[in-house]
A and B are shown apart, each in its own frame.
Chain A
Amino acid sequence: MIKNILTVVAIIGLGWILYPLLVDFETSTVLNPLAQEYVKGSAADLNLPNAVTAVVVTYRGLDTLGEVTVLFLATAGIGYFLKRRSNKKAKQTAGSEILQTGAKLLTPLFMVFGIYIFSHGHLSPGGGFQGGVVIASGILMIVLAEVNFHFSHLILQFSESLSGIAYVGMGLAGLVLLGLNNFLDPRYFLPGNYLALFSAGAIPVIYSLIGIKVGSELASVLAAIQQDGGEA
């Protein structure tokens, strides 16, 4: 009883905190100064059409680096919690005919689509995080369909750590080539033509590395879950 009352009080309190934000909120009609600088700088300085990518990869690149770290820590935690104790073979039932055929047909397409998304992150909606998740969902499909699918931990570890190191290396390259204020500055590559695939300096490379990193992180989560399957 007392718990129910406390719950209601907590909900009402939270609603009371949120209420002023709702009442005083007006949809803005102009961009705020910071966003104006980002939108202008994205096109003028970085030669980059997608302003969201400019914020993620360059202006707030340090946040993205930290976020990749959080992702890595979460993945490591999942691997730790789902660590297999016994050598019992995990039981897994084969997917249906439809799932198996569909997985064989779609998984390569998922991979290509994921690579397309992260390599075009500077031109169109999308980028490393989305592309990585699409690749991981392709892998999930084949895990669900095939009984005898085994992850190569060597490849997973290598692609995960190499893309992480290369990402930090690209950031440090800005520091070395452009001066001390330019960590994660992508302008040391040629800017290229506006709206071309090879443009905007190092941004496509950095975003592709993020894509590979996210994809392999999530694939190693899937590997941990698959190993653990059927044991509980």
Chain B
Amino acid sequence: MITLVFGMLLVLVGVWAMLTRKQIIRIIIGFTIVDTGIHLIIVAIGYVKGGTAPILDRAVSELPAAAAGVEALGKVVDPVPSALVLTAIVIGLAVTGLMLAYTVRLFKHGKSDSIDDYEEQKW
């Protein structure tokens, strides 16, 4: 629950940063804050009360393989949101890198990192 609240706050803070800042680098930082907030929201949705990581070793079950899954059902969190966040983090890293590379290119071209100096490229 707290994770969900913090995630939503991070999304709002990140959007505020993206809308009000002028430097492109700070807008990108705002984007990464939104990204982190969304990760927290997804993880919070996948949480099951009292659950642990969905790894079916001796921590959740002493039974042999085929029966382990059934016994672990009440003890683990939802694996799907965890898998989604796992991939989303790496994608976020790559997209952030792409945006930063674009910023570097833009800075070389126009010698400025403020979006106000790129008015003609707005539309």
Q: Do A and B assemble together?
A: yes
Interface residues of A (CB under 8 A from B): 7, 10-11, 14-15, 18, 21-22, 25, 27-32, 34-36, 38-44, 47, 49-52, 54-56, 60, 63-64, 67, 70-71, 74-75, 77-78, 81-82, 123-125, 127, 129-130, 133, 194-195, 214, 217-218, 221, 224-225, 228, 231-232
Task: Tell me whether B49 is interfacial, beta carbon within 8 Å.
Answer: yes
Partner of A42, one of B4, B69, B91, B101: B69
Contact A27 B73 (CB under 8 A): no
A7 to B4, CA, bound (A): 23
A202 to B20, CA, bound (A): 49
Contact A50 B55 (CB under 8 A): yes
Q: Which interface residue of A27, A44, A50, A124 has the most chain B CB atoms within 10 A?
A: A27
Contact A77 B76 (CB under 8 A): no
User: Could you jot down 7 A-B contacts, CB within 8 Å?
Assistant: A10-B15, A15-B8, A27-B49, A31-B74, A50-B54, A60-B83, A218-B93
- On chain B, the number of residues with a Cβ less than 8 Å from chain A's Cβ atoms is 51
Q: How far is the CB of A6 from chain B (nearest CB, A)?
A: 8
A176 to B18, CA, bound (A): 48
A39 to B67, CA, bound (A): 11
Contact B5 A7 (CB under 8 A): no
Contact B104 A14 (CB under 8 A): no
Task: Tell me whether B98 is interfacial, beta carbon within 8 Å.
Answer: yes
Residues of B close to A32: CB separation below 8 A: 78
Contact A28 B48 (CB under 8 A): yes
Given contacts A31-B48, A51-B55, A52-B54, contact A39 B83 (CB under 8 A): no
Residues of A close to B49: CB separation below 8 A: 27-29
Total A-B contacts with CB atoms under 8 angstroms apart: 166
Task: Tell me whether B29 is interfacial, beta carbon within 8 Å.
Answer: no
Residues of B close to A18: CB separation below 8 A: 8, 11-12
Q: How far is the CB of A108 from chain B (nearest CB, A)?
A: 24
A42 to B49, CA, bound (A): 21
Contact A74 B80 (CB under 8 A): no
A82 to B55, CA, bound (A): 41
Contact A35 B78 (CB under 8 A): yes
A225 to B67, CA, bound (A): 50
Residues of B close to A64: CB separation below 8 A: 87
B10-25 interface with A by 8 A CB criterion = 11-12, 15-16, 19-20
Contact A22 B4 (CB under 8 A): yes
B66-84 interface with A by 8 A CB criterion = 66-70, 72-74, 76, 78-80, 82-83
Contact B47 A27 (CB under 8 A): yes
A160 to B26, CA, bound (A): 32
Given contacts A10-B19, A232-B104, contact A74 B98 (CB under 8 A): yes
Partner of B101, one of A7, A22, A43, A224: A224
A168 to B79, CA, bound (A): 24
Given contacts A7-B16, A7-B19, A78-B98, contact A31 B78 (CB under 8 A): yes
Residue of B nearest to A80 (CB): B101
Q: How far is the CB of A31 from chain B (nearest CB, A)?
A: 6
Contact A125 B91 (CB under 8 A): no
Contact B4 A25 (CB under 8 A): yes
